């Protein structure tokens, strides 16, 4: 199974790439973590809805066929680490790749949210979208380590 993060944004700061890559390397081969970057649209005054819609179309085009789709959204369900580990176990049983949709600075289009089978909120806090990649990669690794009985999580 693959977990594919489909994220708006390219040319991330080095610390974002390093953080994501560190947790990507830790994931086991049977639970590969991949990143598909979407070129952000140029931000113009007053065109935010159209920009988000165009970025949303690019995200939708990048979703692999038959993938189980989860959109990262502030109104989604929150999980603690133990619950996410159980959720990851359930996702593995679906027998499908997982596509995690991460919007740009203005979030995801409505079409992306409607395409998703689940909405997931990482936090009630507003996080900068580059940081979401690192937090999400670490969170997935933590869930995997709990599920696999590794000592990474100490709670």
Average pLDDT over residues 135-153: 95
| 11 among annotated binding-site residues | no
| 123 among annotated binding-site residues | yes
| 124 among annotated binding-site residues | yes
Average pLDDT over residues 93-108: 94
Q: Domains (ranges, CATH) in the chain?
A: 2-148 (3.40.1280.10)
Which residue matches tokens 């690192």? 134
| DSSP codes joined into one string, 116-133 | -SEEE-S-SS---HHHHH
What tens digit of pLDDT does each residue of 19-56 get?
Answer: 999 999 999 999 999 999 999 988 777 688 899 999 99
| 109 among annotated binding-site residues | no
| 72 among annotated binding-site residues | yes
| 136 among annotated binding-site residues | no
| 125 among annotated binding-site residues | yes
């Amino acid at each position: 199974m693959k977990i594919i993060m489909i994220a708006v944004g390219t040319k991330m700061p080095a610390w974002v790439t390093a953080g994501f890559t560190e947790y990507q390397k830790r994931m086991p081969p049977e639970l590969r973590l991949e990143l598909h970057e979407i070129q952000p649209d140029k931000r113009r005054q007053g065109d935010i809805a159209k920009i988000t819609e165009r970025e949303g179309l690019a995200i939708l085009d990048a979703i692999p066929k038959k993938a189980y789709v989860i959109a990262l959204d502030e109104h989604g369900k929150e999980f603690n680490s133990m619950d996410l580990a159980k959720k990851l176990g359930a996702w593995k049983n679906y027998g499908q790749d997982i596509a995690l949709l991460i919007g740009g600075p203005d979030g995801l289009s409505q079409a992306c949210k409607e395409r998703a089978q689940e909405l997931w909120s990482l936090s009630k806090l507003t996080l900068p979208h580059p940081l979401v990649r690192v937090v999400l990669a670490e969170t997935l690794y933590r869930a995997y380590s709990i599920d696999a009985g590794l000592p990474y999580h100490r709670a």
